[in-house]
Amino acid sequence: MSDLPKSIRINEEGPREGFQFEKGPIPTGRKIELIDALSGTGLKQIQVASFVPPQNVPGWVDADDVVAGFKVNPDVSYTALWLNERGLQRALGHDDRLQLMGSVGLCCSAAFLAINQKRTMEQNFEGQRSIIKMYQANGLPVTRGSLMAAFGCNFQGDVAPATVVDMVGQLLDLAAEAGEKLEFVSLADTMAWASPLSIRRVVGAIRDRYPDLTLSLHLHDTRGMGIANVYSGLQMGVEIYDAAVAGLGGCPFAAHKGAAGNVCTEDVVFLCDEMGIETGIDLERLMQAACVAEDVVGHPLPGSVKSGGSLRVLREKLRAAH
């Protein structure tokens, strides 16, 4: 199957995911500087903070100050992450600046769930029922479903496509029994086990069972397969991708020293530009924001296009020379 979309949506997660992963303290003002730079690139959604206990993720001890400090672009939806009701209440304190929505999530790996959340699969399922009730009590619709470790797990191994299809069904059932309808389901390659072939197999299996379901991909680049997996997702018609400017971040819970961040935003935009797929993002401005990200963290980041440059500028120079 090859069903390239005419356009895609990129959800920028660099600030949230990157600053939770960096070891050294990063000044609040510099975090805000990066968010402001990203706001001027054409991105339509930026995840700007994580409302989590600082003892677990010290990089986000200043989440409230960051959310209160950036300049709001009315064309951008700003989102945040939280893991419990206390975190949600903190986010609700910024509902004039953040787009808040409910999310229900399951995990395709019992081993990862036990290590990461100290829960069994059954306990997690019941816990998601309570989370839906929490959202409903706060007047938030539950619109997003997510599956962690949808392609494989460092603690358990490969995940069969049939398992993922079954978990998608559980997500849809969880929402439906509470009177909610998910707008899309995100497949997270949490520990970078995906390959172009497994992307095609898993997405294809889900499409066979749920042909009208919108999917998104959350792809990590630990093993250098991120952009290849995006290409495979594009071939399967997937239109929503999480990405991180300059390749910021990683998964602090993956037990992998090289757990790289999400696939690099500017590399995804470059790929789409070259394929004629619209993103609405100005690649030159995005590369400038990637350089800001690298300066903020104080060390090289893995994105390629910020160093290699876009072909659009090079083509213009060559045309001008001739």
Active site residue ranges: 251
Counting Cα atoms < 13 Å in the Cβ hemisphere of 47 gives: 25
Q: What is the largest CA-CA distance in the chain?
A: 67
CA-based nearest residue to 254, from 81, 17, 52, 25: 17
Residue type present at position 100: L
Is residue 80 within 8 Å of residue 16, measured between CB atoms?
Answer: yes
Return the bridge partners of 278, or none. Answer: 7
What token pair was written down for 79? Answer: 């989102």
Is 161 in a helix, a strand, or coil?
Answer: helix
Query: What is the spatial distance between Cα 305 and Cα 157, in angstroms, rounded to a whole number?
Result: 32
Kindly state the helix (H) or strand (E) to which residue 125 belongs, with its residue range: helix 121-137
Q: Which residues contact 26 (CB under 8 A, 6 or more apart)?
A: 19, 59, 296, 297
> CA separation (Å) from 147 to 135, 223, 232?
19, 20, 19
Alpha helices for 223-302 (secondary structure H): 226-235, 265-275, 283-297
Query: What is the spatial distance between Cα 201 and Cα 208, in angstroms, rounded to a whole number?
Result: 10
Is 239 in a helix, a strand, or coil?
Answer: coil
Q: What are phi and psi of 228, to 5 degrees?
A: -65, -35
How many other CB atoms are found less than 10 A from the CB of residue 105? 18
